[in-house]
Amino acid sequence: MRVLVTGGAGMVGSHVSELLEARGDEVITVDNFTTGRPEHLINLIKADKIQVSISNDNLIDELASRYSHINAIVHTAASFANGNDWSDHINTNILGTALITRLAQKYNSRLIYFKLLFAMALIQPLSQCHWIIQDNQWLLVMPFLRLQANFT
């Protein structure tokens, strides 16, 4: 299976990429190294490693010229380290994610998204277990377990 991992040089993306390559998948990583590090990619022997922003308009054409198919996309690229950099948050998390969604549609590939939590939080900073209001519903969120329970 050919899998594209966005944010492949980041914490989640590099571990996912290594696990995929170890089980025999063909991995393509995409990262612009804003918070990720090139050394996170050294254990990936066979992967194609592309340095580009996911919000780059040419990304879809560039990938289309190289790959006839992509079976799955694991989307972990995210901007959150610098809480004040709203421009980068919007470029990466909104425009970039929209572009990655278009890419998944183009290839008809499965999309797995390690999403940031955009919500009105009652407690700052967020703890490992907290309540939020989202779409007029109460949610109990445990981000590190990737668990959300819905209380309406």
Ligand X SMILES: NC(=O)c1ccc[n+]([C@@H]2O[C@H](COP(=O)([O-])OP(=O)(O)OC[C@H]3O[C@@H](n4cnc5c(N)ncnc54)[C@H](O)[C@@H]3O)[C@@H](O)[C@H]2O)c1
Positions in the binding site for ligand X (CB under 6 A) = 6-7, 9-13, 30-36, 53-55, 76-81, 92, 96, 114-116, 143-144
- From the CB of 14, what's the least distance to ligand X, in Å? 8
Is the Cβ of residue 79 or residue 109 nearer to ligand X in the bound state?
Answer: 79
Nearest 5°: phi and psi at 127? Answer: -90, -175
| 24 vs 58, beta carbon nearer ligand X | 58
Question: What secondary structure does DSSP assign to 79-142, as a single string?
Answer: --SSTT-HHHHIIIIIIIHHHHHHHHHHHT-EEEE-----SEESSSS--SSEEEEETTEEEEEE
Of the two residues 12 and 121, which places its CB atom closer to ligand X in the complex? Answer: 12
Give Cβ neighbours of residue 34 (< 8 Å, ≥ 6 apart): 79, 81, 88, 92
Q: How far is the CB of 136 from ligand X (least distance, A)?
A: 23
CB of 143 to ligand X, least distance (A): 5
Question: Measured at the alpha carbon of residue 103, what is the angle toward residues 101 and 109, in degrees to the nearest 5?
Answer: 85
Rounded least distance, CB 59 to ligand X, Å: 9
Output 18 or 31, the one with its CB closest to ligand X: 31
